[in-house]
Chains A and B, each alone.
Chain A
């Protein structure tokens, strides 16, 4: 009978159904894992990664991200502009990383560093070891009797196959996506390019490993000694002088040290020679390794006691100093190796030179050909001296420029290229920087800029309309007198950037921007006569010509993490009406001056006190735009015109290469054919030089002409004194503003990043900080608001209940009748 099964059937059917439902649920959820239907409700879609980011995240398989977040971050951290709140920042960071992990669909693994076992160290120590930047809070912590600023980390390292990248300090949530995607894109590029550069990288690594082995051996030997010092009482050998003991130990270990260090010479000569000339970073590494080797050879000599030449300290001290020096040199080698391994795939940035720009390179050729200089001396020993001195100045200029270039750019991993005024921009240069030229750009340079812009290469133009000198050296009128100083100079530069940029709808003004409130100080160096002795003094004055801008386009990657910028002697830059109205263009006022700023035709009185009073008495007309980013379909300034021919360079008879650079008709024909009349481009114009003024031979050694010096004249002496004054004046002008360079350099870094960034990154605009600020509330208001919220809602609930109860009661009564 069917009915007899009733009981068991119901139960079994129910269980089967339930099991099936679980199965279906698991299946549906499993199938859904790979879907990516996400609805981001936040106003600016802060949690939605852009197409570019998702693509970047998916393009890499197996990325491991090690995240370092201090257990408890401080409430605020100090910055020059005051405390910056950090609350919720770790959450924003985690959120964003999780977003990437989701987008990558399991190919991106997040590993959170934890306060580990004793051997591992704190999160902060682990972070530092992974090359993260630490920062400290506003509040010091008292431990015992010492004040300590707790260190914190918030960042991550990204590893992909053989390469890795670091996000050292993640304090601007609005730019997490920009930064992380940049890193992911970099990882891919770096890995791919490093596959093409395997050999140089291997050579670099071989050299680095060799140096490292040697340094470790040396430091080990030097340290063993220190350890032994502690039980010095037991040791009777070698006396009590630690240096002597070190020497003894080194001598004892000499064979081992030699074994570890001897290969370096071979490496430098072998791998080094092969590596050299491939790129700047390789050169840098080889040079540093050679330095190291030299120091090692010295140490070896000192250890073996051969070296005690006259005038040198005794070997024991020598060894100690050399060991220290070796360690320092090793760090240089380490850094150079880092930048080399970091270099694959880095795009080269071209610096236009030849118009008294900031051009961080040594000149291509010496001021005076040595053979020519030698000939000069035969006729006129006085002239020989002058020319040699000029050559020395020139060399100092070259060295300064090269050093700036190394420190600001190469060491930070940027690949920079010099672009001469008459040089076509090579294809491998991905971006062009025109850094504050003080002379007009020629037709050919303008044409190059034009075509680079239309080809989509980011073009960055920094302007310097004024040269301000509070202290200026002048060559004396009469020979034999002291150099004159005066207080007077605010001189217009001779650039023609305003004219150049007009073609692209950008109106660069030459009027200086002054500010009455938001200003930085200018540093005045002077000589004070006290009791017959001269002292050099430094004094800082708030200076209206150095406005501090804090109004930034927070959505723009350039100004990320910038809290304020001091822009010495800036002018303003505005889009033309047509450009502003043209919807095809994206125009961003990246930096603006404050409302207390003032635009006024220059020059103005430059003495700080006078200027200050004047500015206070004049009504402001700010804000003014100080930096402008424009992207869109630009039209060529050369459309419908004959394009300029490449000028013939002054042919250097000694340099056979320059002959090959002679312009040819065929080249011109090709250029004509390649001409673009229109193209999408990105242009960034900054109306200040950020306080970095170019140092150029043609500026300092103005009027240097070998021909003039064929005959001796008082003028040549005067000219020579003036050159010296020029060089000093440059130093003084830089000194006036050098104290405010720090943040400006960060901004410069951002500019270079922006200019060399992957195309995809341009699409990633900051969505702003996901954290929104709260109004300022006094504690009483806080208290009352809190109370209202805490008591209000339960009270409301209970009140509603009472009302409901009364209503029900009334209705029920009415029903009973």
Chain B
């Protein structure tokens, strides 16, 4: 586990040494802030609701994360491949799985920082009312989980190509697909999607967190998708052996 941590630390440092962290971070904060205060379409004034809640953040943040996070993960392996540093990396005494995990953990570090920056919103709400702290904690746990899942998908996309732009676009499509399209697709096929299949949708899995409930099933689901994405990334990294 130690190499994973060392790798993650370097990745995080690399992220915050590059402007991408600040561009992506600023975009994320501004977008979630605007959505929080004005809603989609700018008509939903937060103060007009007169409700001391951070819920709009949890309603909108996954959308923004699905766009921003692939930009953070796009370079992780694609750049190593293009610059050839991957050769040095994988000939260090670490396994491919450790490499993928380290990369993912480093990106999670960015996610944590970005989410921590949004704490101004709960702080603001706390200053003007008594929001439900537990619900806020639940929401953040959810954002962390769904964000990690998005990151794992992004890492997976990054292992498939040397081109960062391609990695970004593929990652974005994956995230958006899981976040929005599963619902729509299921609705196309089924009138009333069977509950088991309806659970495939990120949105329905995330809904619980947004209101402050942590359901083992949702946690398992996000962890499963993350695990599968990590394994697929490892497989892609290993594929150099038989190409």
| Majority DSSP secondary structure for residues of B touching A | helix
Q: Determine whether B3 belongs to the interface, using a CB cutoff of 8 Å to chain A.
A: no
> Hey, which chain A residues are within 8 Å of B195, CB to CB?
33, 106
Q: Which chain B residue lies CB-closest to A798?
A: B22
Stretch of A532-540, A593-601, A612-620, A787-795 lying at the B interface = A787-795
> Hey, which chain B residues are within 8 Å of A801, CB to CB?
16, 21-22
Q: Determine whether B217 belongs to the interface, using a CB cutoff of 8 Å to chain A.
A: yes
Known: A21-B228, A29-B224. Is A792-B120 also a contact (CB below 8 A)?
yes
Once the chains bind, are B232 and A18 in contact (CB under 8 Å)?
yes
Once the chains bind, are A30 and B196 in contact (CB under 8 Å)?
yes
Interface residues of B in 88-136 (CB under 8 A from A): 113, 117-118, 120-121, 124-125, 127-135
Once the chains bind, are A773 and B214 in contact (CB under 8 Å)?
no
> Hey, which chain B residues are within 8 Å of A7, CB to CB?
241-242
B238 smallest CB distance to A (angstroms): 6
Once the chains bind, are B207 and A98 in contact (CB under 8 Å)?
yes
Once the chains bind, are B124 and A785 in contact (CB under 8 Å)?
yes
A17 smallest CB distance to B (angstroms): 7
Stretch of B48-56, B75-83, B159-167, B176-184 lying at the A interface = B48-56
> Hey, which chain B residues are within 8 Å of A75, CB to CB?
48-49
Stretch of A37-45, A177-185, A299-307 lying at the B interface = A37-45
Q: Determine whether A503 belongs to the interface, using a CB cutoff of 8 Å to chain B.
A: no
> Hey, which chain B residues are within 8 Å of A95, CB to CB?
207, 211
B26 smallest CB distance to A (angstroms): 4
Known: A37-B216, A793-B29. Is A29-B221 also a contact (CB below 8 A)?
yes
> Hey, which chain B residues are within 8 Å of A798, CB to CB?
22, 26
A772's contact among B21, B36, B130, B138, by CB below 8 Å, is which?
A: B130
Interface residues of A in 104-131 (CB under 8 A from B): 106, 109, 111
Once the chains bind, are B242 and A35 in contact (CB under 8 Å)?
no
Once the chains bind, are A41 and B52 in contact (CB under 8 Å)?
no
Q: Which chain B residue lies CB-closest to A14?
A: B235
Instruction: Report the Cα distance A17→B29, complex, angstroms.
Output: 39
B62 smallest CB distance to A (angstroms): 16
Q: Which chain A residue lies CB-closest to B49?
A: A87
What 1/0 mask marks residues of chain A from 42 to 73 whose CB sits below 8 Å from any chain B CB? 11101110000000000000000000000000
Stretch of A312-320, A440-448, A642-650, A774-782 lying at the B interface = A774-782
B118's contact among A18, A38, A47, A793, by CB below 8 Å, is which?
A: A793
Q: Determine whether A786 belongs to the interface, using a CB cutoff of 8 Å to chain B.
A: yes
B52 smallest CB distance to A (angstroms): 4
The number of A-B residue pairs with CB atoms under 8 Å apart is 180
Q: Which chain A residue lies CB-closest to B118?
A: A793
A794's contact among B26, B36, B50, B199, by CB below 8 Å, is which?
A: B26
Q: Determine whether B220 belongs to the interface, using a CB cutoff of 8 Å to chain A.
A: yes
Q: Which chain B residue lies CB-closest to A109?
A: B192
Interface residues of B in 19-48 (CB under 8 A from A): 21-22, 25-26, 29-30, 33-34, 36-37, 46-48
B55 smallest CB distance to A (angstroms): 7
A122 smallest CB distance to B (angstroms): 21
> Hey, which chain A residues are within 8 Å of B133, CB to CB?
43
| Majority DSSP secondary structure for residues of A touching B | helix
Instruction: Report the Cα distance A364→B95, complex, angstroms.
Output: 92
> Hey, which chain A residues are within 8 Å of B117, CB to CB?
793-794, 796-797
Once the chains bind, are A42 and B50 in contact (CB under 8 Å)?
no
Once the chains bind, are B238 and A14 in contact (CB under 8 Å)?
yes
A361 smallest CB distance to B (angstroms): 47
Known: A8-B242, A38-B214, A41-B214. Is A772-B232 also a contact (CB below 8 A)?
no
What 1/0 mask marks residues of chain B from 190 to 233 whose CB sits below 8 Å from any chain A CB? 00100110010000000110011111110011001101100110
Once the chains bind, are A21 and B231 in contact (CB under 8 Å)?
yes
Instruction: Report the Cα distance A41→B33, complex, angstroms.
Output: 24
Q: Determine whether B137 belongs to the interface, using a CB cutoff of 8 Å to chain A.
A: yes
> Hey, which chain A residues are within 8 Å of B134, CB to CB?
40-43
B76 smallest CB distance to A (angstroms): 20
Interface residues of A in 438-466 (CB under 8 A from B): none
Once the chains bind, are A808 and B17 in contact (CB under 8 Å)?
yes
A18's contact among B113, B128, B235, by CB below 8 Å, is which?
A: B235
Instruction: Report the Cα distance A771→B221, complex, angstroms.
Output: 29
Once the chains bind, are B216 and A35 in contact (CB under 8 Å)?
yes
B47 smallest CB distance to A (angstroms): 5
Once the chains bind, are A22 and B47 in contact (CB under 8 Å)?
no
Q: Determine whether A233 belongs to the interface, using a CB cutoff of 8 Å to chain B.
A: no
Q: Which residues of A contact B (CB under 8 A)?
A: 7-8, 10-11, 14-15, 17-18, 21-22, 25, 28-30, 32-33, 35, 37-44, 46-48, 75, 85, 87-88, 91, 95, 98, 106, 109, 111, 770-775, 777, 782, 785-786, 788-790, 792-794, 796-798, 801, 804-805, 808
For the complex of A and B, the 10 pairs showing the least CB-CB separation, nearest first, are A41-B134, A37-B216, A87-B49, A25-B224, A41-B138, A39-B214, A772-B52, A42-B212, A774-B129, A794-B26
| Apart from A29-B221, A48-B213, A774-B49: 20 A-B pairs, beta carbons within 8 A | A11-B239, A21-B228, A21-B231, A37-B217, A39-B138, A39-B214, A41-B137, A75-B48, A87-B50, A87-B51, A95-B207, A98-B207, A772-B53, A774-B51, A789-B33, A789-B36, A789-B120, A794-B30, A796-B120, A797-B29
A-B contacts, 28 listed (Cβ < 8 Å): A7-B241, A7-B242, A14-B238, A14-B239, A18-B231, A18-B235, A28-B220, A28-B224, A33-B196, A38-B214, A39-B215, A40-B134, A42-B212, A43-B133, A88-B51, A98-B207, A773-B129, A774-B50, A774-B52, A774-B128, A777-B47, A785-B124, A785-B128, A789-B37, A793-B29, A794-B29, A796-B117, A797-B22
